[in-house]
Structure 1
């Protein structure tokens, strides 16, 4: 049981380090465009806003 607890603790520490590292990478502008693909799907880089679409019939 002691081995499993030490293994889980090591995995939690490694997970926390990768979480901090990934958050740091995403906050820097030089890495943000290369790493975060969702900005391409959402259209943030294009700079154009599309027209408003009405979804409820009146």
Structure 2
């Protein structure tokens, strides 16, 4: 799956703004993969609709 996103660091916390619509049941897996240290690496991923999909160190 190709996912388009914008990587930004608004206040020294790397954030991914996900532009590609992702099915709700796949959002967590996609976000975790993108924010992983060995991938794009970020502290959080937020959907186009500005819903937080995943944050580092967040309770599961």
Tell me, yes or no, whether TM beats 0.5.
no
TM-score range, shorter chain: under 0.3
- Relative to the length of structure 2, the TM-score reads 0.27
Q: Which has the higher helix share?
A: 1
- Relative to the length of structure 1, the TM-score reads 0.27
Q: Which has the higher strand share?
A: 2
More RCO (CA 8 Å, sep 6+): 2
